Amino acid sequence: MTTVNRTTGTRPVNPPKAGPPRPARRRGPRRHTRRDIAVLCVLLGLPILLDLALVWGPTLASVALSFTTWDGVGDIEWAGFGNYADLFADYPQFWPAVRNNLLWLAALGLLATPFGLLLAVLIDRGVRFSRFYQSTLYMPVVLSLAVVGFIAQLVLSRDQGALNALLGRQDDPVDWLGDPDLNIWMVLLAACWRHTGYVMILYLAGLKSVDPELKEAAAIDGASERQAFFRVVLPALRPVNVIVGVITVIEALRAFDIVYAVNKGRNGLELLSVLVTDNIIGEASRIGFGSAIAVVLLLVSLGFIITYLVQELRGEQRR
């Protein structure tokens, strides 16, 4: 989204005479009337309130709770960094979960994203039936991740799964989802299946916005198609690249539904998100401890979020 001004350079709409640039004060003294202020207070206040009460408040609360040993009912007792110490040292599921989240990130970033870009480029070249390809490839994206998880079981289950039948291994079946060394890869495949279409649509829209003159100019200058793409088109897609990057990271950190649908995230499919959920709605209800895991997740994602916002802010200032 947004790409307009940067990618196309000048817009024909504002020649220099379109009025003095910004610093000129708004004409006259009129700012907002009392009615305007009331409208603003209500309609701006409501979303801000919702966002603070149900998103940012809980985020801070998570941080605070992570330093306690609360079980949800009794008194809240201060625990210092105890939960974190336990987490890093004595919680056997923690490091496998971190590893799986990283694998998830790598798979989405290094496989699904480039593949989605490739498909977008091919479709954008104007092949016939592009509408059909586009719809088909995007189809998995509209499915719920839980449904993706269930369909994965249909394809991959040991005894009846389609994959074993396809490979002719009914007599010596591979337990694709049950084998803890194997299942994460299979689940990643399912995740990539869905992510590819997402990336493709974003790039397809971005590619349509790239000024064809850019490509023509590159071609006239003697650039090969490949050079033109990597040196001219891809840099012009920077805003889309940033958005795709953010979505990829966030999807990797949020990953939950697929593994939960497959086996509730056990036996090789541990993820940080699953551990958080298990600690709250599980029997134990270790809210303090669960929050500590959530904070780890928060810190990692904040790193990416802040990088992204700084990028946005820079773009904002250039506007």
Q: 34 vs 25, 38, 43, 49, CA distance in Å?
A: 21, 6, 14, 21
Tell me the window of 86-94, 174-182, 229-237, 255-263 that interacts with another protein (CB under 8 A): 255-263
For position 261 contacting another protein by CB under 8 A, the verdict is yes
Q: Which is nearer to another protein, 8 or 93 (CB)?
A: 8
What is the per-residue burial (b if ≥16 Cβ within 10 Å, else e) of 191-212? bbbbbbbbbbbbbbebbebbee
Binding residues for another protein, total number by CB under 8 A: 116
Sign of the C-alpha dihedral computed for residues 110, 113, 115 and 118 taken in this order: negative
Single out the residue of 90, 181, 283, 316 in contact with another protein (rule: CB under 8 A): 316
- Compute the least distance from the CB of residue 222 to another protein, in Å: 16
Single out the residue of 102, 139, 167, 217 in contact with another protein (rule: CB under 8 A): 139
Tell me the window of 58-66, 78-86, 87-95, 174-182 that interacts with another protein (CB under 8 A): 58-66
For position 39 contacting another protein by CB under 8 A, the verdict is yes
User: ∠258-266-252 over CA atoms, to 5°?
Assistant: 40
146, 261 Cβ separation under 8 angstroms:
yes
Which of the residues 187 through 206 are near another protein (CB under 8 A)? Answer: 193, 197, 201, 205-206
Binding mask 283-302 for another protein (x = CB under 8 A): ----x--xx-xxx-xx--x-
- Compute the least distance from the CB of residue 99 to another protein, in Å: 17
For position 71 contacting another protein by CB under 8 A, the verdict is no
- Compute the least distance from the CB of residue 91 to another protein, in Å: 16
For position 253 contacting another protein by CB under 8 A, the verdict is yes
Single out the residue of 85, 102, 162, 284 in contact with another protein (rule: CB under 8 A): 162
For position 305 contacting another protein by CB under 8 A, the verdict is yes
For position 147 contacting another protein by CB under 8 A, the verdict is yes
- Compute the least distance from the CB of residue 89 to another protein, in Å: 22
For position 24 contacting another protein by CB under 8 A, the verdict is no
Tell me the window of 7-15, 85-93, 105-113, 229-237 that interacts with another protein (CB under 8 A): 7-15
For position 117 contacting another protein by CB under 8 A, the verdict is no
For position 248 contacting another protein by CB under 8 A, the verdict is no
For position 113 contacting another protein by CB under 8 A, the verdict is no
Single out the residue of 46, 106, 110, 167 in contact with another protein (rule: CB under 8 A): 46
